[in-house]
Amino acid sequence: MKKWTELEPGAVVLEAGSSARFKTGSWRTFKPRWVPENCIQCLMCWLYCPDMAVKVVDGKMTGFDYDYCKGCGVCARECPGKQGKKAIVMEPEGK
Amino acid sequence: MGKIVAVTGNEAVANALRQADPDVCSLYPITPQTDIVQRFSSFVANGLVKTELINAESEHSAMSAAIGAAAAGGRVITATSSQGMALMWEMLHIASGMNLPIIMPLVNRALSAPLNIHGDHSDGMGARDTGWVQLWSESAQEAYDNTIMAFRVGEHMDIRLPVMVCMDGFIVSHSIARMEYLEDGEVKKFIGPYVPKNPLLDIEHPKSFGPLILTDLYHEYKRLQHEIMGRVKNVVLQVSDEFARLSGRKYGLFESYRLEDAEIALVILNSAAGTSKDVVDELRGKGIKAGLLKPRLFRPFPYEEVGQALKHLKAVCVMDRADSFGGYGPMFMEISSAMYQADGGQRPRLINKIYGLGGRDFMPHDARGVLLELVEIAKGAPVRTVKEYIGVRE
């Protein structure tokens, strides 16, 4: 840990992208489960995710990064799904 | 050199702000400060400054916008009084915690309730612990000079702190006094171009302001803030010396008036110090060794220097134009602390008077009454009450 003499005044963080090291997944009480057969790859989940928990590879949703998912449920709410069936469902953590 | 004028305190401060030509001014009007931002707005409208003006919807928003603009990398000003600064409260701590050198004239006014628009120090004293540098001013001239110096102090690379410049509402802000303006070019040269530190608009170097810092490092950041505050005194002295060379007007951490050989003294801030100096002169004429200390830099408070300046006295009255209900007056607490720590343990007897709340006049007879009480205390008379209201109908 840094000493006070090593800190930047004003608590300014001078390193870009350092929030990648701040893992927030342990806050979760509900977790999103991806149901690929209902997914139309609209990427609304990626767009709405307030963190960086939706893993997109080659332009496609491939699942969740649970190191960053806080379980807020925004992705599940916004997911249009297919024929009335959601591609993201929230389940209690530990189920 | 300068130009002699007859202006109000508000007009003087508005002109100091014009001469500083800030990048951004975010404002919300409040009596008795309104006159400053109204005048400044006309400077913007008439093209006398290049400032971007933000008419905020409240003082909380005005300070929030000031913080954003300062973090972006601009020289930023605002101004307020009383309830306005009370509404800024949480943002005041954020401005100082982020080391953003925002300059803010504070036209001192009483706090509600009951509602009152006149001058006392309850707003500024309440902001004692916000982490802002505070410079207090007796007159329009001092408010003007302090406003100019505030830019140099706050923007100094060793500190980068917000500064509030206090002057008495109405008594100074709305009274016309003789004073001297510096030339625009002289002020521009004295203040210099703004040099941002860690500006957000430097997009080649992305950065974050306002992170969450919990038990792991918060204590360390506050220790750093304490360290930076400790550097302010020297910066103020250095800037004041440079200002004296420019203007001929000398400022220190406080003003000592006939204090060196005095036996009794008042400690008193702002406009009432002027009234009191006349009474000190009058009593000196009668052979009474009276003096006065007028604090200027209240935050950080120069405890050692004030302790040195007062320790030879026999009796001192600390005059407070604000009350800490359930405590002594806020200035009394500082002076008591300074005297307790003074070298050698030598110290005068101290009393505290609360005067002039809500703009109640402070007259020469008020100062005379207190000084004559000190004469008796210096001779050994007992202190009746440590803290007492004066000028109050009994």
Nearest CB among B205, B211, B220 relative to A2 is that of B220
pLDDT tens for each residue of B129-158: 999 999 999 999 999 999 999 999 999 999
Nearest CB among B198, B206, B221 relative to A7 is that of B221
Chain A residues with CB under 8 Å of B198 CB are: 8, 10, 12, 14
Q: What is the CA radius of gyration of chain B?
A: 21
Count of domains forming chain A: 1
Q: Which amino acid is at B183?
A: E
DSSP B261-327: T-SEEEE--THHHHHHHHHHHHHHHTT--EEEEEESEEES--HHHHHHHHTT-SEEEEEESS--TTS
Print burial letters for B5-15: b (CB count within 10 Å at least 16), e (below 16): bebbbbbbbbb
Q: What is the pLDDT of residue A38?
A: 98
Cβ distance A9 to B211 less than 8 Å, yes or no, reads no
Residue A76 counted as domain residue: yes
CA distances from B86 to B78, B174, B345 (A): 14, 22, 38
What is the ipTM metric for this complex?
Answer: 0.91
pLDDT tens for each residue of B219-274: 999 999 999 999 999 999 999 999 999 999 999 999 999 999 999 999 999 999 99
State the smallest CA–CA distance between residue B16 and chain A in angstroms.
Answer: 27
Residue B217 at interface with chain A, using a CB cutoff of 8 Å: yes
State the smallest CA–CA distance between residue A24 and chain B in angstroms.
Answer: 13
pLDDT tens for each residue of A77-95: 999 999 999 999 999 998 7
In this structure, which topology does domain B3-191+212-247 adopt according to CATH?
Rossmann fold (3.40.50)
Q: What range defines the domain where residue A53 resides? A: 23-92
E strand map for B100-217:
103-108, 133-137, 163-168, 176-181
Residue B384 at interface with chain A, using a CB cutoff of 8 Å: no
State the smallest CA–CA distance between residue A38 and chain B in angstroms.
Answer: 38
Chain A's closest residue to B96, CA to CA, is: A10
Residue A2 counted as domain residue: no
Mean pLDDT of chain B: 97
Q: What is the pLDDT of residue B1?
A: 62
Both structure tokens of A82: 């297919």
Q: What is the pLDDT of residue B249?
A: 98
pLDDT tens for each residue of A3-36: 999 999 999 999 998 888 989 899 899 999 999 9
Cβ distance A11 to B213 less than 8 Å, yes or no, reads yes
Q: What is the pLDDT of residue B134?
A: 98
Cβ distance A2 to B160 less than 8 Å, yes or no, reads no
Q: Which amino acid is at B96?
A: S
β-sheet bridge partners, residue B58? none
Start-to-end C-alpha separation, chain B: 51
Chain B residues with CB under 8 Å of A10 CB are: 97-100, 160, 198, 209
pLDDT band at A37 (very low <50, low <70, confident <90, very high): very high
Using alpha carbons, select from B99, B96, B66, B100 the residue that is nearest to residue B80.
B66
Mean pLDDT of chain A: 95
Chain A's closest residue to B94, CA to CA, is: A10
Domain boundaries, chain B: 3-191+212-247, 254-389
pLDDT tens for each residue of B18-30: 999 999 999 999 9
pLDDT tens for each residue of B29-66: 999 999 999 999 999 999 999 999 999 999 999 999 99
Cβ distance A1 to B221 less than 8 Å, yes or no, reads no
Give residue for tokens 């389940």.
A91
pLDDT tens for each residue of B319-377: 999 999 999 999 999 999 999 998 777 899 999 999 999 999 999 999 999 999 999 99
Are the beta carbons of A48 and A58 closer than 8 angstroms? no
Alpha helices in chain B (DSSP H): 9-20, 34-45, 59-72, 82-87, 89-97, 122-126, 140-154, 184-191, 218-230, 232-247, 271-285, 303-310, 330-341, 364-378
CATH of region B254-389? 3.40.50.920
The CATH code of the domain that includes A69 is: 3.30.70.20
Residue A87 counted as domain residue: yes
State the smallest CA–CA distance between residue B130 and chain A in angstroms.
Answer: 14
Contacting residues for B161 by C-beta, under 8 A, at least 6 apart = B96, B99, B101, B131, B132, B133, B153, B154, B228, B229, B232
